[in-house]
Amino acid sequence: MAAKVTAIAFDGDDTLWHNERFFTVTQERFANLLLPYAGEGVLERLHATEMRNLRLFGYGIKGFTLSMIETAIEASNGEARSSDIKTVLQWGKEMLQNPIELLEGVKEAIESLRERYRLMLITKGDLFDQESKIARSGLADLFWQVDIVSEKDLETYRRLLSRHAITPDEWLMVGNSVRSDILPAVEIGARAVHIPYHTTWVHEHAELNEATQGKVWTIESMADLPGLVESLT
């Protein structure tokens, strides 16, 4: 029999608040901006640049903006105007200042669960940007522990659980990304709840597999989480 859940961790972007849709809108604007220079296929080039730069810039809006600038210069063979680069920079600044909009049922679910469980927020990306998002979300004081990490993988989760004296079998991870939130959690022996978001960055695409059977539950909304957790404990 599985151990009782005592701690629940939540992903931030696109699990608690909207995020990816701002990247999608900006990518569309970027493709239109570069169309006179490079034609179709600019977004594929942008993605390749992002992947190449991940080890240097990490995740987040700042790295995304720098990758757009690099792609604009390369895709236009250096012909992109300074006004175009300035436009890209302005888009990045706008993204960093976008209001935080919580997903439906998030605050109510967290307020309900915090009465019985230790709640954690584990989010990856630029430290300054993530701290700002968390503060603007109005949720910071509802969490027992907040951790901002550069990557979400086996070693990261093991390190955090060890630091907070939590065993994997009593820990539940909740997130929208199968690649970052679900699979690594299951691999270390924890259970997970997948809440799909309507759009996902291609880098985060992954599929649930046989190893996740009986260890992962998929729900449509955060509003369904408290009832599911009660059924597990």
Instruction: List CB contacts of 187: < 8 A, sequence separation 6 or more.
Output: 154, 211
> How much of the chain, in percent, has pLDDT values that exceed 90?
85
Residues 200-225, mean pLDDT to the nearest whole number: 78
pLDDT at 132 over 90: yes
Decide which of 232 and 122 is more confident: 122
- Average pLDDT for residues 32-44, to the nearest whole number? 88
Q: Report the CATH fold assignment for 7-17+100-232.
A: Rossmann fold (3.40.50)
> What confidence category does residue 45 fall into, taking pLDDT thresholds of 50, 70 and 90?
very high
Q: How much is the mean pLDDT over the chain?
A: 92
Which CATH number applies to 20-96: 1.10.150.240, 3.40.50.720, 1.10.3720.10, 3.40.190.10?
Answer: 1.10.150.240
**pLDDT surpassing 70 at residue 85:** yes
Global pTM? Answer: 0.90
For residue 211, what pLDDT band results from cuts at 50, 70 and 90? low
> What is the helix, strand, coil percentage profile of the chain, to 5?
55, 15, 30
Query: pLDDT value at position 216?
Result: 94
The C-alpha atoms of residue 175 and residue 105 are separated, in whole angstroms, by 14
First to last CA, the chain: 11
Whole-number percent of the chain with pLDDT over 70: 95
How many CB atoms within 10 Å of residue 71? Answer: 25
Please report, for residues 32, 117, 157, 177, 191, the alpha-carbon distance to residue 185 in angstroms, rounded to integers and kept in the order given: 39, 18, 7, 11, 7
User: Residues spanned by CATH 1.10.150.240 within the chain?
Assistant: 20-96
